[in-house]
Structure 1
Amino acid sequence: MKRRKSPQEKKRLSYTKDRRNDYGENDKSSRKSIRRNKRTPHRANRHRDHQVLEAARGAADEQSGEAAEERLYARRPKRWKKVRDAPLGEILLGRIERRVKRGIHDPGTGRKRIRRIRRRQKV
């Protein structure tokens, strides 16, 4: 039989396992932007390859073929990589630290909250 989790244990797990989008954009827009960000570099690479190979058209000789191949591989292809979201605990820590730094939160209360969140993350 499964053991029941205490509220404190649930909170700790939530801070470590739950994730939030920290990229700075709306989390719903990621549905479209991830696809767009994958698509754009591939398109640019195909376009560049086409331009290089189009310049090498004509009579087939070894020199022009080698020159075209050199130009083709001289530049690293563009790429994009997805970055995973940050844990909820880190996001909350950053928010509170920023508020204390800007003077929105009382420094004493802010430090207490920061210690509490860090303690929950460690256990």
Structure 2
Amino acid sequence: MRRRSPQEKKRLSYAKDRRNDYGENDKGSRKNIRRSKRAPHRANRHRVNQVLEAAVGAVDEGAEEEVERRLLVKRPKSWEKSPDAPLGEIVQYTLRRRMTLETGDPKRDAARLERVRRRTRQSVG
């Protein structure tokens, strides 16, 4: 394996490193992903149990069909993970936002933004 120059390392970092972009602490994902998977499953089980409790008792074909219909009417809840964004995109967004809010030196921020764009555009080995 060959040595990489600092410039190449920076380019790879902008392309390959990922950052959380949905407003959550990155360490919170450890618990929140599990919690987010758990919540819809629990809600689905709760709904099914409530519907099935209404059908307890003697076997009645009408009640059976009604329970089946009620279960199929509503689509089960679900949840999907969203991927983190590449570091280069996050840095560009931050610099653009800083420029629109005019919190820093506009010339310096524009130069930084152009530098990041140049580094993220170059091909990654």
Whether these two folds match at TM > 0.5 is yes
What percentage of aligned pairs have identical amino acids? 61
Residues 1-123 of structure 1 aligned to structure 2 (within 5 Å): 2-123=1-122
**Code of the aligned partner of 2:112:** R
3-state DSSP of counterpart to 1:57: coil
List per-residue Cα deviations over 1:23-45 (Å, max 9, x = no partner): 21211121111111111111110
CA distance in 2, matches of 1:25, 1:4: 35
3-state DSSP of counterpart to 1:43: helix
CA distance in 1, matches of 2:121, 2:44: 45
CA distance in 1, matches of 2:93, 2:60: 61
The structural deviation recorded for 1:61 is 2.1
The structural deviation recorded for 1:58 is 2.1
- The runs of 5 or more residues in structure 2 that have no matched partner are none
3-state DSSP of counterpart to 1:77: coil
**Code of the aligned partner of 1:94:** Y
CA distance in 2, matches of 1:122, 1:98: 20
RMSD of Structure 2 on Structure 1 (CA):
1.2
Runs of 4+ in 1 over 6 A off after TM superposition: none
TM-score by length of 2: 0.91
The structural deviation recorded for 1:83 is 1.2
The structural deviation recorded for 1:4 is 2.2
How many residues are matched?
122
TM-score by length of 1: 0.92
List per-residue Cα deviations over 1:45-83 (Å, max 9, x = no partner): 000000011112222122211111110011111111111
3-state DSSP of counterpart to 1:79: coil
